[in-house]
């Protein structure tokens, strides 16, 4: 009797399993695809870099979103301005040593599985702290020479600015034909400074020197212009 009951129980279990399989019920869970991303797409938020100047302290934090933080940053191609360094955490910092326009590509990688990576190209301009250009080239009228320059302060500081113009004769004798000292405010662009004086006849080289000092940073920045000129009239 017991033997017949056991056979019946086995028959019922087999029939139940067959019916479950026929109904389409899955027997086990299918694992997710191995290459399915586990986070949102990685995007670099920093689209451009601020300019700077030689000897100036520079520090910019690059930002991204999406993916799986923390992010790892790397210089992929091109050259950073000499004196600047890119850290793994995306901090671009240092003190530029020379002027120029620098082009480079930086990448960011995250902790997703599989890992996501993205790149962005940047341009960083390192401009002279003080720039001077001729506004009016030196000209002679009789024995008098006149001219003017425009000066720009690209730093983030007010400069103690000294402006000196010398006319240097062929014999090496220098005559001051312009001098000013004043605060040159940060962000000043194309500020005009005139100069002029009477000179004895002769050939001269005009030297225009601008010197800007940031005392609390112990920084001194310079700019220079030169131009030859002849004074025909005069004593």
Give the rounded percent of residues in the chain with a pLDDT score beyond 90: 76
Q: Where in the chain is the domain with CATH 2.60.40.3880?
A: 130-231
> Quick check: 195 pLDDT over 50?
yes
Report pLDDT digits (tens) over 10-49.
Answer: 344 444 444 444 444 444 433 444 444 557 999 999 999 9
Cα 84 to Cα 118, 123, 124, 125, 153, distances in angstroms: 22, 14, 11, 12, 22
CATH T-level topology, domain 43-126: Immunoglobulin-like (2.60.40)
Assessment of whether the complete model's pTM goes beyond 0.75: no
Q: Measure the CA angle with vertex 130, ends 128 and 132; round to 5°.
A: 105
Mean pLDDT to the nearest integer, 120-128: 97
Architecture of domain 130-231: Sandwich (2.60)
Can you tell me the mean pLDDT for 131-140?
95
Residues of the chain with CATH 2.60.40.10: 43-126
Q: What is the pLDDT of residues 57-90, one digit of tens each?
A: 999 999 999 999 999 999 999 999 999 999 999 9
Q: What is the DSSP string of 18-64?
A: HHHHHTT--SSPPPPPTT--SSPPPEE-------B-TT--EEEE--E
Residue 4's pLDDT is what? Answer: 37
């Amino acid at each position: 009797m017991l033997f017949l009951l056991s056979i019946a129980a086995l028959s019922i279990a087999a029939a139940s399993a067959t019916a479950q399989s026929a109904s389409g019920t899955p027997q086990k869970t299918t694992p997710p695809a191995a290459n399915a991303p586990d986070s949102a797409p990685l995007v670099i938020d920093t689209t451009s870099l601020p300019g700077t100047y030689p000897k100036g302290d520079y520090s910019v934090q690059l930002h991204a979103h999406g993916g799986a933080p923390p992010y790892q940053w790397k210089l992929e191609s091109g050259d950073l301005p000499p004196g600047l360094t890119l850290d793994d955490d995306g901090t671009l910092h240092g003190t530029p040593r020379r002027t120029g326009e620098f082009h480079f590509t930086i990448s960011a990688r995250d902790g997703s599985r599989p890992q996501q990576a993205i790149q962005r190209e940047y341009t960083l301009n390192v401009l002279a702290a003080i720039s001077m250009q001729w506004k009016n080239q030196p000209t002679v009228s009789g024995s008098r020479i006149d001219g003017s320059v425009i000066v720009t302060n690209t730093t983030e500081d007010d400069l103690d600015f000294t402006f000196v113009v010398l006319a240097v004769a062929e014999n090496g004798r220098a005559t001051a034909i312009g001098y000013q000292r004043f605060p040159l405010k940060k962000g000043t662009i194309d500020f005009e400074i005139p100069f002029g004086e009477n000179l004895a006849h002769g050939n001269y080289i005009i030297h225009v020197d601008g010197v800007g000092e940031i005392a609390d940073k112990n920084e001194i920045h310079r700019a220079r212009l030169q131009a030859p000129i002849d004074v025909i009239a005069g004593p």
